[in-house]
Structure 1
Amino acid sequence: MNNNTKRGFGRALKHRLRDEGWSEERLDFNSTPLLNAILRKHKPVEHLLFNKEISNHCTYLEAMLVAAVLSHYLDWKVPVLPMHDGVITTVRERDRLKNVMEFEAERLLTSAPSVVVEY
């Protein structure tokens, strides 16, 4: 990770905290120790963090997964609502949606993530 990435992390973090109402006095800190702690904690995937190419590819895969899931529901004429990293449906549809998501994830991805139903 280069110094530009470290500076970018600090700027992005402070921008987010400013948006959440933090005062300028509270934002007067060095974010490098926090970034280093994050990198230590996630050492096995450190090479994936802050990598634009990988990030864009993951975003693309997520979009393809959601599109594949939605195509089933368009065919079935069952209403669902896509959101950031999931799909909202009725309680009655939850099991079928979970199965469709698992099926499409296995079809599209090298290793399928677990699908969690939230209420």
Structure 2
Amino acid sequence: MEVSQMLTQRMWQHDSMLLQLPHFTKELARKCKENPGKSIETIFDLLEMEDIKRRELLSMSDSQLLDIARFCNHFPNIDLSYEVLHNDTVQIEEDITVYVTLERDLEGRIEVGPVHSPRYPKAKEEG
């Protein structure tokens, strides 16, 4: 999953997650990371900020902020949970069964749309 994400966004694992956002540069991502009070390193950190502080930090036009808001509204929020069967009897080199559940909140939408990936050579559907 991570390799697919890196290819689609044309990013490396060590790059800031914020570079996926429209109008973001490496300099702006660095400024967010060095934000006094709380380092902003993920899209969720940015979403949790108060509007006024986010506007001051980003110093963008209203249309650029709207582009970021649109992106964030479609950004996948996926919860992962798992259960190891018979986890009290697991031994080294023993086969085990793990049930994994991925849950996506579509926030009232019925289906997902294309991925925001301006560096990818063609339209990319979420998968």
TM over 0.5: no
Q: Larger relative contact order (C-alpha < 8 A, sep ≥ 6)? A: 2
| Higher-helix-fraction structure | 1
Q: Which has the larger radius of gyration?
A: 1
| Higher-strand-fraction structure | 2
Q: TM-score, normalised by structure 1?
A: 0.26
Q: TM-score, normalised by structure 2?
A: 0.25
